[in-house]
């Protein structure tokens, strides 16, 4: 029986961390984009489809009678494909039965890996700007985030500050390379510095590597796990969403040592238990694709990056270098914009009909920079060109001077 509308809401407080957190910026900006019929260069998803053979494999898998709960750690086809992919691209030998956990997206994988090692009160070092689930996930587990900030425009690792963030209570470091939103690809020297801290403090590393195949200009992704001493300490996270243009599928995969895998699997068991089996079998076909697929995939994205990068520069944006990921960070001050990044994103959505993401959404500590804006280039080239035309008209009409 339905309750009368006037029934009072319970007075007891709900979870304070969630009550105190807003909805993540990505759907907020996507909703604003549809409301204003704007071209959406905000939320990072391609406007083109994934590989037909991967989609066919998932569709066929729906019809062959394996539609009940798959194995907890993932279907054997996908675990074997994750292991083979690790060996082919990085020379990492992986036992598919004891060192892989398939999850419902990298988002779940991040929480599962944190849960595998973090006890209440443990500190987790994170590198800012950061993906916006990191800090709430650490806090929900009772962990304490220790935030180290990279400085634009080069986003170099501030080594002394990073070293100072480690204490006897540090349990793990969680970081992202290739990096959203900066487009940074961590260098071997930076990774060696992190590896040394991880070893000296006897901690774990959670490596968010969802953009592993999205690197440009000869930059190559290096998993921290491949550095000396790191094999047993790292949990390496990949995502089919990013590697195969299938962001809605939410299939992620964790590779980690057999000593860590049981806890990651138990965290997954308590979060979602399993991930849709047909999608897993499609992703297994994707990970087995030949090297040409991965090379052409990166080259096609690089062409899109080049188009948007050159176009935004021509319009007068301050464009920061993007070495990997789906994203370009721009400084909007050279356009004459005096307001903040959120006001800029609202203005271009409502007036120019182009949507972007304010970079301050990627900061959890106080006083984030407020004049950087992120544009996604994983879109058809005609769409990128039209977005540039719209921005050009808006700038010509002095739209950017109004901020
Ligand atoms: N980490 C980073 C850095 C991301 O940009 C994303 C974006 N989706 C994720 C994790 C989550 O990936 P998934 O969609 O597979 O959950
Ligand atoms: N990772 C994507 C981005 O940074 C969005 C993911 C999401 O919408 N939760 O744009």
Tens-level pLDDT at each residue, the chain (403 residues): 456 667 888 999 999 999 988 889 999 999 999 999 999 999 999 999 999 999 999 999 999 999 999 999 999 999 999 999 999 999 999 999 999 999 999 999 999 999 999 999 999 999 999 999 999 999 999 999 999 999 999 999 999 999 999 999 999 999 999 999 999 999 999 999 999 999 999 999 999 999 999 999 999 999 999 999 999 999 999 999 999 999 999 999 999 999 999 999 999 999 999 999 999 999 999 999 999 999 999 999 999 999 999 999 999 999 999 999 999 999 999 999 999 999 999 999 999 999 999 999 999 999 999 999 999 999 999 999 999 999 999 999 998 988 7
Task: Confirm whether 4 is domain-assigned.
Answer: no
Whether 122 and 226 share a structural domain: yes
Whether 365 and 279 share a structural domain: no
| Residue 225: CATH number of its domain | 3.40.640.10
Whether 132 and 257 share a structural domain: yes
Question: Is the CB of residue 208 below 6 angstroms from any atom belonging to ligand 1?
Answer: yes
Whether 64 and 24 share a structural domain: no
Whether 207 and 277 share a structural domain: yes
Whether 343 and 267 share a structural domain: no
Nearest ligand atom owner, CA of 248: 1
Nearest atom in ligand 1 to the alpha carbon of residue 110 is: 10
Whether 383 and 265 share a structural domain: no
Long-range Cβ pairs for the range 55-59 (8 Å, 24+): 55/246, 55/282, 56/282, 57/281, 57/282, 57/284, 57/285, 58/249, 58/278, 58/279, 58/281, 58/282, 58/283, 59/278, 59/282
Question: Is the CB of residue 107 below 6 angstroms from any atom belonging to ligand 1?
Answer: yes
Question: Is the CB of residue 129 below 6 angstroms from any atom belonging to ligand 2?
Answer: no
Task: Confirm whether 247 is domain-assigned.
Answer: yes
Task: Confirm whether 7 is domain-assigned.
Answer: no
Domain boundary among 223, 254, 289: 289
Whether 21 and 127 share a structural domain: no
- 317 CA to centre of ligand 1 in angstroms: 27
Q: Give the domain range for residue 260.
A: 52-289
* Cα angle value 326/350/306 (rounded, 5°): 25
């Amino acid at each position: 029986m339905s309750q009368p509308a006037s029934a009072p809401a319970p007075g007891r407080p709900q979870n304070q961390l969630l009550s105190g957190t807003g909805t993540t910026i990505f759907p907020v900006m996507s909703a604003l984009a549809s409301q204003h019929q704007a071209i959406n260069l905000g939320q990072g998803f391609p406007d083109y489809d994934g590989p037909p053979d991967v989609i066919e494999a998932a569709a066929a898998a729906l019809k062959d009678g394996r539609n009940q709960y798959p194995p907890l750690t993932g279907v054997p086809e996908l675990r074997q494909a994750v292991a083979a992919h690790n060996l082919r691209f990085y020379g990492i030998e992986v036992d598919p039965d004891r060192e892989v956990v398939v999850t419902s997206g990298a988002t779940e994988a991040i929480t599962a890996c944190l849960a595998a090692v973090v006890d209440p009160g443990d500190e987790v070092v994170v590198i800012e700007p950061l993906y916006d689930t990191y800090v709430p996930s650490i806090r929900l587990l009772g962990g304490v985030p220790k935030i180290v900030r990279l400085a634009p425009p080069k986003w170099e690792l501030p080594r002394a500050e990073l070293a100072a963030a480690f204490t006897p209570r540090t349990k793990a470091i969680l970081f992202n390379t290739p990096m959203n939103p900066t487009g940074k690809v961590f260098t071997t020297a930076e990774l060696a510095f992190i590896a040394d801290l991880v070893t000296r403090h006897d901690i774990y590393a959670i490596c968010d590597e969802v953009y592993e195949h999205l690197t440009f200009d000869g930059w190559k992704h290096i998993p921290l796990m491949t550095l000396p001493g790191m094999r047993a300490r790292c949990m390496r996270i990949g995502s089919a969403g990013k590697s195969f243009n299938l962001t809605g599928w939410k299939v992620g995969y964790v590779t980690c040592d057999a000593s860590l895998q049981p806890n990651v699997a138990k965290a997954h068991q308590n979060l979602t238990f399993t991930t849709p089996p047909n999608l897993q079998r499609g992703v297994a076909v994707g990970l087995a694709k030949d090297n040409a697929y991965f090379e052409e995939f990166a080259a096609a994205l690089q062409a899109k990056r080049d188009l948007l990068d050159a176009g935004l520069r021509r319009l007068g944006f301050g464009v920061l270098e993007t070495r990997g990921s789906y994203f370009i960070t721009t400084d909007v001050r050279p356009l004459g914009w005096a307001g903040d990044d959120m006001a800029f994103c609202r203005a271009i959505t409502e007036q120019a009909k182009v949507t972007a993401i304010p970079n301050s959404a990627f900061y959890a500590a106080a006083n984030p920079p407020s004049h950087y804006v992120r544009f996604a280039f994983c879109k058809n080239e005609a769409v990128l060109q039209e977005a540039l035309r719209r921005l050009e008209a808006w700038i010509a009409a002095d739209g950017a001077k109004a901020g």
